[in-house]
Homo-oligomer: A and B are copies of this chain.
Amino acid sequence: MKKLINDPADVVAESLRGLAIAHPELRVDHPNRVVFRGDAPVRGKVGIVSGGGSGHEPMHGGFVGVGMLDAACAGEVFTSPVPDQMVAATTGVDGGAGVLHLVKNYTGDVMNFEMAAELVAAESGTEVVSVVVDDDVAVQDSLYTAGRRGVGATVLAEKIAGAAAEQGRPLTEVAELARTVNARSRSMGVALTSCTVPSAGTPTFDLPEGEMEVGIGIHGEPGRRRVPVAPAREVAEMLLEPVLADLDYTGGDGALVFLNGMGGTPLIELYLMFGEVVQVLEKAGVQVARSLVGSYMTSLEMAGCSVTLLRVDDDLLRLWDAPVRTPALRWGV
């Protein structure tokens, strides 16, 4: 295992220490491993909390800031945060207008966020609404999931719900927007290499030279099938075929296209893949309304990518375009 770390047991805590210094506009609660907006709680604004296992950076800590998340809980690598962390995050962002939990659909995350919501309600009466994201069309159930896994749509839901909360919309509306983003999004990924969890020290799975895993999960969970490594234009077709089959594009709405790198794939390849994805979409008659290309939801140093399509309307586009100021996404401010 070759990594820029010290003791594998300290990776998350030490990475958060660096994040806190690099981004003084954030406030990191180190004992609870929660990244907060510096000005949290924002009075009268719906607070938005997300979180999950570490190893997916910049998700979620890199999405904390104006126009996106109010707090993010960092679990151990590929392991759900515990309810106490989520309680600290929720009470810390409660500005009196309620709190939205944005939860990726993994069994541990869902269970722990549920428990945290109950604890908070019992202790303080804070209203919490949870929205579970499950946009991955690759598999119906998986190693860590009942139902579909939550992947790229999480980033889009955090941005769009975050913009709505920043505008002062009420909790029911912010939550409904997050549900809408999830309902209108589909994703699929591919891995060219495995990744190595620091505490394990060896690759999560074995992927021989010349093969790739189509439908990979963000923790290296098995996908749909192993196939020989194919040209990018064929990979784009493999990823988009099941996405388009599951998403109704007959209404003429455009797509927000999110081409995400898994961590170990260089940007030169991501832009190339994005070009191929757009060609497939053009053939399918889907218009690209907005795009996001980069490594935003990673699996440590895994090589590969995922594609997420969100069927947008004017309200979603305005919220996507609204100002955001976080370490990883920043525009308009």
Contact = CB atoms under 8 A, between A and B. Distances in A.
Contact of A14 (B2, B17, B272): B272
Contacts of A77: 268
Interface residues on A, range: 35 or more
B57 A267 contact: yes
A176 interface: no
B269 A2 contact: no
B303 A2 contact: yes
Interface of A: 2-7, 11-12, 14-19, 21-22, 54-55, 57-58, 62, 77, 192-193, 209-210, 212, 229, 231-233, 235, 263-276, 278, 288, 291, 293, 295, 298, 300-301, 303-305, 330-331
Contacts of A273: 4, 18
A15 B301 contact: no
Contact of A2 (B12, B58, B229, B263): B229
B291 A21 contact: yes
A272 B11 contact: yes
16 contacts: A4-B270, A6-B233, A12-B268, A14-B232, A14-B275, A17-B275, A18-B276, A18-B293, A21-B274, A21-B275, A21-B278, A55-B266, A58-B267, A263-B266, A265-B301, A295-B295
Contacts of A295: 267, 295
Contacts of A269: 3-5, 15
A141 to B, nearest CB: 27
Contacts of A265: 4, 301
Chain A binding surface SS class: mixed
B303 A303 contact: no
Contacts of A235: 4
Contacts of A264: 264, 266, 301, 303
A232 B266 contact: no
A274 B6 contact: no
B268 A11 contact: yes
A266 B209 contact: no
Nearest to A267: B57
A316 to B, nearest CB: 19
Nearest to A325: B331
Nearest to A10: B272
A165 B266 CA distance: 30
A123 B300 CA distance: 51
A55 B298 contact: no
Contacts of A272: 4-6, 11, 14-15, 17-18
